[in-house]
Homo-oligomer: A and B are copies of this chain.
Amino acid sequence: MTTTDSSKPRGKQGYHHGNLREDLMRAALEIIHESGAAALSLRDAARRAGVSHAAPYRHFKGKGVLLAALAVESFHGLVDALERAKAACGDDVVARLRAGGLAYVRYAVRHPSRFRLMFGPDRELIDDKAAAAEVAAAGQAAYRQLYDSIADCQRAGVIRPDPTDSIAQPAWALMHGLAALLVDRRIEAADDAALEALVGHSQRILYEGMRSG
């Protein structure tokens, strides 16, 4: 029962894997999802991927770098979600801004482990400089989504022409705070409708203060 697993027909019926890097990331996320980031061990991830405890080190310089790779992947997923949500709104700049905010909070609630990985203190584990820089860059790409939406609204004359950052930062903080408190179960949202209502209500309040005139 050790030699007859047939999940991947790839390679020279292989003593090795073909795609260990991806499998390790998948396993690690699974562990974090089941038991929290503190419970993640590289050895367990290796076990689940069916390799020895030393094998991961051919693909990641250490535990922190694996975590960083997951964070980067997660930021890319967030950016995708934001882009899709905005694209579905056509040219209505205000609708695009609102949809982006909702998508941000939804992404956090649907992928709490990833959200915590992106923003949680696990980033402290990333002692590797290059990996830390990559995570930071991926995070900035997400912020740019919001920044651009605000700038579009300013150009359209529906949001005050203050420095864009001075508006984007509070807007980000509000959505980020909702996301963080929801993920931490400090605020409850019974279902997706309740979540939409909470986000929509928060956005309406904020929008009153941002709009022109």
Measured CB to CB, the residues of A under 8 A from B are: 36-39, 116, 119-125, 139, 143, 166-167, 169-170, 172-178, 180-181, 184, 186-187, 198, 201-202, 204-210
Contact = CB atoms under 8 A, between A and B. Distances in A.
A174 B181 contact: no
Nearest to A38: B125
A173 B177 contact: yes
A174 B170 contact: yes
Interface of A is mostly: helix
Contacts of A202: 169-170, 173
A204 to B, nearest CB: 7
Nearest to A176: B177
Given A172-B177, A173-B187, 5 more contacts: A119-B184, A120-B120, A121-B121, A170-B178, A172-B187
A121 B187 contact: no
A172 B177 CA distance: 8
Contact of A121 (B120, B139, B205, B207): B120
Nearest to A166: B201
A107 to B, nearest CB: 15
B198 A124 contact: no
Nearest to A165: B187
Contacts of A39: 124
A124 B206 contact: no
Nearest to A32: B121
8 contacts: A39-B124, A119-B184, A121-B121, A169-B181, A173-B181, A176-B180, A177-B180, A204-B209
A19 B185 CA distance: 35
Nearest to A140: B186
Most B CB contacts (10 A, CB to CB) among A36, A124, A174, A206 go to A174
Given A121-B120, A124-B38, A204-B209, A169 B187 contact: yes
A207 B205 CA distance: 8
B180 A119 contact: yes
A210 B124 CA distance: 37
